[in-house]
Amino acid sequence: MSRFASYDGTEIEFRVLGQGRPLLCLPGGPGRASEYLGDLGGLARSWQLILPDTRGTGASADADPATYRCDRLVADVEALRAHLGLERFDLLGHSGGANLAVLYAAAFPERPDHLVLLTPGLSALGVEISDEEIRAALERRSDEPWYPEAMAAVEKAEAGDDSLENRNTCVPFCYGRWDEAARAHAQVGISERARAVRDGFFADGAFDPGATRAALGRLAAPVLVYAGGLDFTPTPDGAVRAGRLFPRSDVVVQPGAGHFPWLDDPAWFTAALNSFLG
């Protein structure tokens, strides 16, 4: 683990795994410590993974809650780039972290060599996944033994139950296989401490999709929008809609995968990422 002081003095922790060309990996949640990314299914065998903990999560320090807003976290990414002395690098954002990756690419289009949006949140792009799409994706799992309890938890969440217990009951929907490995992974990097980050990430003013889309017109880097075939956030169709917003993009849908595709089939995942990143 390494640590640096960001633009306002907040101490940000990050890990470096592997050797090779740097791939900066922004974790999701929002507010989940980056340890849940592991080595991304063995991707660290080909690339140097740089894995920061968002301020207020994991081993990084707490900060003014106003700085947890997604657009303001862009300054932490740029401070980490400067700390590492990287002129250019590959950038990956997972889930909610994909919103941050998009905003960084819009603000600094000259920095990324490649941009990977991995089972991405799409708020920064203004791409909406309708309730009907989400419900259809969830109902595709109706043969699973955990489905009735998990679906009841989804309905509680829609009614306002944001408790950690209820989230844990919903979470099988996020995995292609709800096996022992998935159960263990679901607890990694989770902390009630990070609730402030989760609440602040989407605060009013965080996103201006029209301005972001316009700025992305200057992005020369190729973009990969990567979806799981069983995921509901985004659905594969939502990933396709997102891909159309970039000057150069590919969309990959991993069969049988959920929100964490590197767990469901590491070999398939790493082959697809290695192919895109070159």
Least Cα distance to 105 among 244, 219, 243 occurs for 219
Please report the domains of the chain, with CATH numbers, ordered by start residue. Answer: 2-130+192-277 (3.40.50.1820)
Residue 167 has pLDDT above 90, yes or no: no
Residue 244 has pLDDT above 90, yes or no: yes
pLDDT value of residue 241: 97
- Residue 206 banded pLDDT, cuts 50, 70, 90: very high
Least Cα distance to 48 among 22, 26, 84 occurs for 22
How many Cβ atoms from other residues are within 10 Å of residue 250's Cβ?
14
Q: Is residue 12 a contact partner of residue 81, using CB atoms and an 8 Å limit?
A: no
pLDDT value of residue 1: 85
Convert the pLDDT of each residue in 107-153 to its tens digit. 999 999 999 999 999 999 999 999 999 999 999 999 999 999 999 99
State pTM to two decimals.
Answer: 0.97
Least Cα distance to 196 among 39, 1, 30 occurs for 30
Respond yes or no on whether the N-terminal peptide bond of residue 112 is cis (omega within 30° of 0): no
How many Cβ atoms from other residues are within 10 Å of residue 200's Cβ?
22
Secondary structure element (H or E) that encloses residue 98, with its range? helix 96-107
